[in-house]
Amino acid sequence: MSDKPASHAPEVVHSSSTMPAASRIRVIESLVPVALAEVTAQLPGFIERLAGAMFRLSDQSVLPNEASVSFHAWNYLGKNAGQWQRGVLDQLSQAWLGEIAALDKTPLSGTAQTVSDLTLVSLEEMESRVLIGNLAQAVELENSAALVALNIRLGRLLQRDAISIAHNPFRPAVFVRAVHDAWCRFDGSDQSHRLVLRLLRPEVLIDFAPLLTALNGALIARGIVPDLLDDYRSRQSSRPSPEPSGVADAALRHKLEEWLNQVDGEPVAAPAAGPSATLLNYLDGLRQAAPVTSLREAARHAPADALTPADHNTIELLARMFDFVFGDSTIPDHVKQLLGRLQVPLLRTALVDKEFFFSAACPPRRLLDQLAASGRGLQHGAFADDPLYRFIEQIVERVQHEFDQQIGMYSTVVADLEAYLLAEQESEHSALRPRIDEARRQENIQQARELAENDIARRIESGEVAGFVEVFLETQWIHILMLAHSVAARKPEALDKALQAMDDLIWSVRPKVSPQERKDLVSKLPALLSLLNGWLNAVKWDAPERVTFFSNLAERHAAIVRLPAERSARHRIELAVNVAQKASERRLNRRAREMHEVPLDQFVHVVDSIEPGSWVRFVRNNGEAGTFRLAWISPLRTRFIFSSRHSDESFVFTADELAAALREQGAEVLPHGSVVTRALAAALEQ
C-alpha cells in the first residue's frame, strides 16, 4: 500500500490520540467524499463492463427468458446510464455513512460479526447474500494488503486494535450491496435483479486498489500511522499465540495425530509429554556448530536416552517434510540452503509445540511458508546481491541465534518479512503502471471490436444486405461502432445513433415494393447520406474507396427508385432464393470458423482460474527457463502481466497466448499454496 497522501486528502489535524470521540467519527466521515471521487472516476468503465456482460448473456444464453431479460437490462442501462450512475453514488454515500454510524456504536472488544439468522429469510435473499459474500471475499483476497492497512489505521484512529474486515465501512461487501440496491431501485423488473447480481464479478467491478490507496492516503495526511510497517510489526509481535486449530483437511489431521502419538506402530493411550531438558539443551548447543545437514543425523548424535519415541516420530516427520522442500524444483538451490539452516530451530519448535504441524497460523510455520514462496523469484541474475535474498539471510541468522525465544521472535520476523514483501509489491505495481494502462487500453479496444463485430454479424447473417454494403460494414463501419462502444458509458446516445445509421443504410438498399416506400427513401436520403459522411469524417476515412462506395450506393438507390411498382412473381422468387442462399453461406461460414476454434481444454480452465501472485515457469526459445510472478490480471481476464522480482523484465500475455504456452509446454504454473501443507501430505503418504 502506497503511503503517499491522496491529492484530495484533508488538512492535517492534531494527533489522533488527543481527538475527542466525535472528532474521530468525523474524520472517518470525511473519507466518504474521497471514496466517492475515486468511484466516480471508475463508474463509466464499470457500467461499460456490466453492459457488455449483459449483452453477451443475451446473445449466448440458451434460455429464452434469460436472454430476453438480459437484453432488456442492457438496453435500459444503455439508455439511462447517467441516471443509474447517480443512483449508485447516492446509494454508496448512504451505505458508507450508515456503516460509519454503526462503527461508532461497535463495542471496543467486538471483532466478530453476529451470525445472521437465516431461518426466516427467503431463498432469493439467501442467494443474494451468498453471491454478495462470495464476490466480496474474492475482492478482499485480491486487495488484502491494502485492506489490512486500512483496518490498522481505522483501528488506531478509534483507539482500538486493528478493526476486523467485517466492521470496515469501506469493505467490498458494502460496495456490492449498494450497487445491487441501486439497480433494484433503477429497474423495476424483478427478474433483472438476481441476473445483475450474478453478472457482478471481480473483473466487472471497479478496481479497488486505487480506492483503498486514496483512503489510506487520506488517513496518512491526518497523521494516522504514517509508518505502517512499524505499527504492523508491533501489532504482530504482541498478538497472542493462536488457539489450536485443525488443518483444513480432517483426514490429514487424523493421520498427523496417528503419526505423532504411536510407538512401534501402535497408538499410545495418551499424548506424549514434552521434550526433556537434556534434548532442548542439546538442540540449543547446535547453534554454535556448523549448520545441520540432516535432522536424522542430529538425532543419532543426541545424548543417550534423551529422545522418547514421540520425539523420534516428530523428528522423522519434520525430516520427511524437509525432504519434500529440498526436492521441490520450484525453490532455487541457494534458497534451499538458507531453509536448511532452519531445521534445528524448527525442530525445537515442533518438539515443544505440536501445533506447528496442525495450525497454518503458527508463526514458525508461516515463516517457512513465506520464505519458500518468496524465494521462488530469486533465480534471476546475481541472487547474492538481491536485497530480498540478503533480507532472508538476515532473518535466518536471527532465527538461528534466537530460536529459544520462540514466541516473540518468530512473530516479529514473520511481521518483518510480510511488511517487506508488501512494500516490494507496491513498488512493483507502480513500476508496471505503464504496462497496466496499455493492457487496459488493449482490452477495451478488443471488447469494443467484439461488440461491434457482433452488431454487424447479427444484421448481415440474414442474407438481405447487399454485398458491397456488407464489405463496407465489416471494413469501415466497424471502426465507427468500436468508437461508439468505447464511449457508450459516457455517451450512450452515440452508440444508439451509430446503430440506427447502420440500420437505415441497410434498409435503404432493400427493394421497395410500394410507391410510399420509395417516397420515404427519397425523403430520408439527404439526412442519411449526411449522417454517414459525418461518421466517416470522425474516423478519418478518406481513402479512394469512399468515393467508390458512395457511387455504388447512389446507383443502388437510383435503381430502387426506377424499379416498376409491381415486380413479377419470378423476380420475387429469385430475390428470395438469393437471400436464402446468402444466409445459408453465412451460417456455413460461421460453423466452419467455430469448428476451427481451439476447443476448451484443461489449459483454458487453468488460465481461467489462475490468480495474481501465482508463479509460472517459462521456457525461452533458447531452452533457458525463468520463473515469473503473475503481477496483474485485466478486469476481463484477457491480459496477464508477468514480472521478475524487480520488474526489470516484464511481459504481457493474452488469455489465448497463455493457454497456448501451457498447452505447448512452454509454460508451467507452479504449485500454489502452503509448501508446509503439501510437504506434510507428501510425508504422510510415504
Are 311 and 194 within one domain? no
Report the CATH number at residue 641. Answer: 2.30.30.30
Are 418 and 505 within one domain? no
Residue 75 lies in a domain: yes
Which pLDDT does position 487 carry in this prediction? Answer: 87
Range of the domain at 406: 250-431
Are 287 and 416 within one domain? yes
Residue 184 lies in a domain: yes
Is 313 in contact with 319 (CB distance < 8 Å)? no
Are 91 and 164 within one domain? yes
69: which 3 cell numbers? 431479460
Confidence of residue 159 (pLDDT cuts 50, 70, 90): confident
329: which 3 cell numbers? 524444483
Confidence of residue 165 (pLDDT cuts 50, 70, 90): confident
Which domain-ending residue is among 596, 614, 646? 596
Number of domains in the chain: 4
pLDDT, tens digit, 9 for 90 and up, residues 54-68: 888 888 877 788 888
Which domain-ending residue is among 562, 596, 630? 596
Are 47 and 158 within one domain? yes
**In this predicted model, which residue has the larger pLDDT, 183 or 408?**
183
Residue 440 lies in a domain: no
Are 198 and 254 within one domain? no
Quick check: pTM over 0.85?
no
Sign of CA dihedral 442, 448, 454, 457: negative
d(CA 414, CA 364): 8
Residue of 290, 283, 276 lying closest to 318 (CA atoms)? 283
Residue 474 lies in a domain: no
Average pLDDT, the chain: 79
> Helical H runs in 293-432?
295-300, 309-326, 333-340, 343-352, 355-358, 363-374, 387-402, 406-431
H or E stretch covering 330? none
Residue 1 lies in a domain: no
Which pLDDT does position 595 carry in this prediction? Answer: 61
Grid cell 508461516 — which residue?
366
Of 370-384, 523-537, 600-614, highest mean pLDDT: 523-537
State yes or no: pLDDT of 548 exceeds 90: yes
Is 447 in contact with 636 (CB distance < 8 Å)? yes
Which pLDDT does position 452 carry in this prediction? Answer: 92
Are 22 and 136 within one domain? yes
State yes or no: pLDDT of 116 exceeds 60: no
Q: How many CB atoms lie within 10 A of CB 217?
A: 21
Which pLDDT does position 549 carry in this prediction? Answer: 92
Are 260 and 211 within one domain? no
Are 528 and 634 within one domain? no
Residue 4 lies in a domain: no
**In this predicted model, which residue has the larger pLDDT, 104 or 518?**
518
State yes or no: pLDDT of 117 exceeds 70: no
Which pLDDT does position 7 carry in this prediction? Answer: 36
Are 675 and 631 within one domain? yes
Are 589 and 546 within one domain? yes
Residue 236 lies in a domain: no
The stretch 274-285 carries a mean pLDDT of 75
What are the Cα distances from residue 515, in Å, to 245, 504, 521, 563?
A: 84, 18, 10, 10
Residue 616 lies in a domain: yes
Which domain-ending residue is among 561, 596, 631? 596
The stretch 3-16 carries a mean pLDDT of 38
Are 280 and 329 within one domain? yes
Which pLDDT does position 528 carry in this prediction? Answer: 92
**In this predicted model, which residue has the larger pLDDT, 575 or 635?**
635
